[in-house]
């Protein structure tokens, strides 16, 4: 008989691949009789689910996947170039895979791991609300770049490269406060966001509290269902709805630079000016912000340095057997022309 795979074991036992995986890894949530049957088949057909066999297949494939959530956001474009260059420089294949906003990137990674025999994965963007059970199903090194996982996930199970989104959002809102703004609207991510949008909203709230400004939920501007919160179109629509409602604000703190450009356009289309009538501050520090008129006040993430670090960590784990590690980069507040003192 040919070499038996985990799919063969699952088929012979009449169970799913995940059940076989749980039996092999001695998970407690499996029926003892089912586990005994699976282990009997494994012994009979000499199926060897050890790390060395898996790693051999991955070494032969020499493919690193970059899984990106939010490919329309220009912030990621420079990072993708760096990742591709660094990975190919190390003589590995670069494979880019995009997941939609509503798709689970970890589940997508599990499918790719089986299909492509990957050596490793770098995640760009994504959420933090994953269970430890599904994270531990990834049997290969992976690095989360620009986002981490929730505090309930043991950091020994993964690596991350990111900034402190809570602290940096706090810094920007405090900056607007120091300019005299008290009615600061936030153009936010989705209300159910479990990623950087949630953390930047937390930083916004903490800054208001620290400066004694009452929190007003009417100033949190969420996109409508189906709108990409990081897009120019969403920023435009959200800001326009707010401005036309007659509600009052003097400044907008926007979830991303890309959405901030949409906010600026909405202000202009309604006959107002930035920053004379409304100050606008973004987040990310993409190149277009420098050339926009007026130039955008923003939090600049060191995207190229973060991408390089993600590759270095991944290859240290793959080739040197290093342990998972976590790197938090500092960001920079760029004072542009889109925010003024009042």
Strands 298-300 and 332-334, bridge-based pairing: antiparallel
* Same domain for 37 and 64: no
pLDDT of 46 over the 90 cut: no
**C-alpha angle 137-143-144 in degrees, rounded to nearest 5:** 95
Residue 241 lies in a domain: yes
* Same domain for 222 and 99: no
Q: What is the mean pLDDT of residues 131-158?
A: 83
Given pLDDT bands bounded at 50, 70 and 90, which one contains residue 21?
Answer: confident
pLDDT score of 17: 80
How many whole angstroms separate alpha carbon 218 and alpha carbon 113? 44
pLDDT score of 139: 84
- Burial-class residue 86 by CB neighbours within 10 Å (0-12, 13-18, 19+): buried
Residue 340 lies in a domain: no
Task: Give one word for 45, left, alpha or beta, with left for phi > 0 and alpha for psi -120 to 50.
Answer: alpha
Report the 3 state secondary structure along 252-309: EEECCHHHHHHHHHHHHHCCCCCCCCCEEECCECCCHHHHCCCCCEEEECCHHHHHHH
Output 250 or 42, whichever has higher pLDDT.
250
pTM check: above 0.75: yes
* Same domain for 138 and 287: no
| pLDDT (tens digit per residue) in 295-334 | 999 999 999 999 999 999 999 999 888 899 999 999 999 9
pLDDT of 183 over the 80 cut: yes
Residue 115 lies in a domain: yes
Output 23 or 185, whichever has higher pLDDT.
185
Residue 284 lies in a domain: yes
pLDDT score of 52: 43
pLDDT-above-90 percentage for the chain: 60
Q: What is the mean pLDDT of the chain?
A: 89
Residue 342 lies in a domain: no
* Same domain for 200 and 222: yes
Are 342 and 180 within 8 A, CB to CB?
yes
Given pLDDT bands bounded at 50, 70 and 90, which one contains residue 194?
Answer: confident
Laid out side by side, the sheet with 159-163 consists of 93-99, 63-69, 120-124, 142-145, 159-163, 326-329
Identify the CATH number of the domain in which residue 264 sits. 3.40.50.2300
* Same domain for 226 and 131: no
Are 312 and 161 within 8 A, CB to CB?
no
Residue 141 lies in a domain: yes
Q: Measure the N-to-C terminal CA separation of the chain; round to a whole number of Å.
A: 79
pLDDT score of 222: 97
* Same domain for 211 and 258: yes
Least confident of 75-84, 110-119, 169-178, 279-288: 110-119
* Same domain for 193 and 269: yes
* Same domain for 170 and 124: no
**C-alpha angle 326-125-208 in degrees, rounded to nearest 5:** 85
* Same domain for 119 and 181: no
Given pLDDT bands bounded at 50, 70 and 90, which one contains residue 198?
Answer: very high
pLDDT score of 128: 66
Identify the CATH number of the domain in which residue 31 sits. 1.10.260.40
Residue 72 lies in a domain: yes
pLDDT of 1 over the 50 cut: no
pLDDT score of 211: 98
* Same domain for 261 and 170: yes
pLDDT of 50 over the 60 cut: no
pLDDT of 184 over the 50 cut: yes
Domain hosting 113: range is 59-162+303-330
* Same domain for 309 and 251: no
Structural domain tally of the chain? Answer: 3
* Same domain for 158 and 72: yes
Output 134 or 227, whichever has higher pLDDT.
227
Residue 338 lies in a domain: no
Output 210 or 319, whichever has higher pLDDT.
210
């Amino acid at each position: 008989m040919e070499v038996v795979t985990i799919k063969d074991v699952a088929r012979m036992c009449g169970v799913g691949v995940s059940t076989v995986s749980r039996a092999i890894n001695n998970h407690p949530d499996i029926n003892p009789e089912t586990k005994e049957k699976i282990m009997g088949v494994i012994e009979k057909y000499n199926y060897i689910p050890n790390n060395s066999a898996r790693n051999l297949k991955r070494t032969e494939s020499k493919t690193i996947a970059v899984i990106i959530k939010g490919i329309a956001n220009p912030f990621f474009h420079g990072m993708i170039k760096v990742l591709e260059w660094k990975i190919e420089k190390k003589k590995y294949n670069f494979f880019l895979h995009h997941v939609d906003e509503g798709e689970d990137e970890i589940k997508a990674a599990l499918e790719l791991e089986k299909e492509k025999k990957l050596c490793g994965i770098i995640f760009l963007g994504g959420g933090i609300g994953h269970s430890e059970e599904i994270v531990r199903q990834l049997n290969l090194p992976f690095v989360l770049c620009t986002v981490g996982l929730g505090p309930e996930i043991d950091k020994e199970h993964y690596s991350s490269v990111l900034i402190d989104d809570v602290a940096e959002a706090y810094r920007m809102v405090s900056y607007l406060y120091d300019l005299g703004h008290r009615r600061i609207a936030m153009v936010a991510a989705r209300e159910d966001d479990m990623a950087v949008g949630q953390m930047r909203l937390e930083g916004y709230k903490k800054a208001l509290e620290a400066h004694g400004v009452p929190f007003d939920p009417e100033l949190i501007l969420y996109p409508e269902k189906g709108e990409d919160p990081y897009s120019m179109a969403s920023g435009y629509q959200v800001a326009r709805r707010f401005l036309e409602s007659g509600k009052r604000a003097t400044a907008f703190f926007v979830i991303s630079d890309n959405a901030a450009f949409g906010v600026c356009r909405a202000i202009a289309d309604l006959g107002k000016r930035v920053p004379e009538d409304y100050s606008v501050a973004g987040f990310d520090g993409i190149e277009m912000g420098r050339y926009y008129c007026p130039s955008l006040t923003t939090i600049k993430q060191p995207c190229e340095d973060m991408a390089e670090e993600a590759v270095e960590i991944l290859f240290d784990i793959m080739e040197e057997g290093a342990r998972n590690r976590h790197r938090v980069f500092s960001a920079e507040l760029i004072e542009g022309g889109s925010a003024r003192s009042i």
